[in-house]
Structure formats: C-alpha cells, structure tokens
Amino acid sequence: MENTNKSKYDLLMHLLEEGDAMVCLDARDESVDVPPEHKDSAALNLILNLNFRRPIEIMEDQINATLSFGGRPYPCLIPFSTVWAIFEPGTKKGQVWEEDLPQDINLLEQLQNNTTPSKPPKPKPVAKKSSSPKKFGTPKRDRSHLRVIK
C-alpha cells in the first residue's frame, strides 16, 4: 500500500470510529464509479458513516459503499488515489493531500464553499396592527353571523 493511501485509510478509519467523515474526490477519474450526474465533478464531497443501513467496505486502496443520491442507492467505488481531502464535517478537522488535488480546483474557494454558512432567510413582514386604543376590562362583542331574534 502506498504511503499516501495508507495515511488516507488511517485518517478515514479514525474519523469513522467517531462518526461522520467527509471524503473529497475527483470523480472525473475513470476508476471512480459514482452516479453519472456526479461523474464530471472535480470536487465531489461524500459523507460516510459506519452506521449507514447499507454496508461500507474500506480496503487499503479503495472504498466500496452503496450510498444514497437523491434517495436512490448507488454502489460506489472510490479509489484512494482520487481522494484529495478527508475531514470531519462538524469541526472541519482533517487533511488535504495537495499532491492529489486536481489542478483545476481552487482549494481556498472549495474550503470557503464548505465552511461558509448559508445566509439566513429574510424575515417576513409582519402585518401592522391597528393603532386604536384597546379597552381593558370590557368583553369583546361577538361578531358571529348568527343573531338572536326575539
């Protein structure tokens, strides 16, 4: 096993023992098997967890896992040679292997996209209440459509 593949394997196993692991890879490589709609991504990010319903097999040189894409399972094959970063999604602690980073990726931009929180939604305008003074102590009249006829 190559030294870089061993370090990727070791880091991935360590993170998976604790919970989730984010694997960043170049899906354009012909040895990668992911759904066709993700095959042209130089920066495909996949979350792995040992508690997934479907099995995950992590070998010395690759990851075999059936992952869900849009609610549909797909058997993925991810060679460690295509993985350029592994980190823990919550804390963003992990490692980038610059020698495996695709030339057409701006790492700083990629990291900002993964760590920048989304903008909070704009608050909806609140309807203004009438400014007429309220009388306290007097019961409000019932304005129902039924009336008592005597």
| Within-domain flag for 84 | yes
What digits encode the pLDDT tens for the residues 6-52? 889 999 999 999 899 999 999 999 999 999 999 999 999 999 998 88
Residue 146 forms part of a structural domain: no
Give every CB contact of residue 82 below 8 A, 6+ residues apart in sequence.
25, 26, 27, 29, 31, 32, 100
Q: What residues does 44 pair with on adjacent strands?
A: 25
Domain membership flag for residue 105: yes
Quick: pLDDT tens for 100-127: 888 887 665 655 555 433 333 444 444 4
Contact 63, 48 (CB under 8 A): yes
- Rounded distance between C-alpha atoms, residue 28 and residue 36, angstroms: 10
The CATH number given to whatever domain includes residue 49 is 2.30.30.220
- Is residue 12 assigned to a domain? yes
What is the count of structural domains for the chain? 1
Cβ–Cβ under 8 Å, residues 15 and 86: yes
The domain of 45 spans 3-115
Residue 5: CB atoms within 10 Å = 19
The encoded tokens of residue 135 equal 């009388």
